[in-house]
Each structure stands twice: as structure tokens, then as C-alpha cells.
Amino acid sequence: MSDRITGFLGGSPIAVAVRLIVLSVVVGLILSWLSWNPHDVVRWAVHFFDWLWVSLFGSVQRAGYYFLLGAAIVVPVFLISRILKMGRSRY
């Protein structure tokens, strides 16, 4: 169990905690120097993902259009690659 935790964290839990604390203090100092607060960061992130969603999928119709446009290329390429791979495995 300990090996799994160490592998997941990328080091011993105490060393990772110390690195995270130091990094948090450094990032906090930089954000404070920029006069940002946690509310500003969260508001920016929400605004960014809202803008990204509207830009990519402004409507269900546009999302369907993107799906069909991509599928017109992806599905034939996939089928051709599978057919060619199937032909190679016989020899």
C-alpha cells in the first residue's frame, strides 16, 4: 500500500507535503504581488471555461456539426487502418 501511495505522489508523503507547502507560499507571494486574490483566480477560471464552452459548443447544432465534420475524416481513416492491419496479420 505504501508503495502505491509513494508511486502516486511521486515521493514520500512528507516530502511531497513539504514541496506543496513551499510551492503554495511562493505562488501566494507572486499572486499577492500581482494584487490577485482567490476570488479573482476562481472568477477568471470560470469565465475562461465559460468562454471556451461557448466558443467550442455555442449550441447543440454547432456541436453536432463539429461531430459530423470530424467523423467524416476519422471514421474512414479508422476503417482503412483496421482493414490494412487485418491484411498484414494474415502473412
Radius of gyration of the chain (CA): 24
pLDDT score recorded for residue 1: 63
pLDDT the model gives residue 61: 74
Nearest alpha-carbon partner for 70 in 81, 60, 62:
62
pLDDT at 19: 94
> Are 6 and 12 in contact, with CB atoms under 8 Å apart?
yes
Q: What pTM does this model have? A: 0.50
pLDDT one-digit tens code per residue, 9-39: 888 889 999 999 999 999 999 989 999 888 9
Separation of alpha carbons 3 and 13, rounded Å: 11
Q: What is the 3-state secondary structure (H, E, C) of 44-58?
A: HHHHHHHHHHHHHCC
**Could you tell me how far CA 79 lies from the centroid of its own chain?**
28
pLDDT value at 69 more than 80: yes
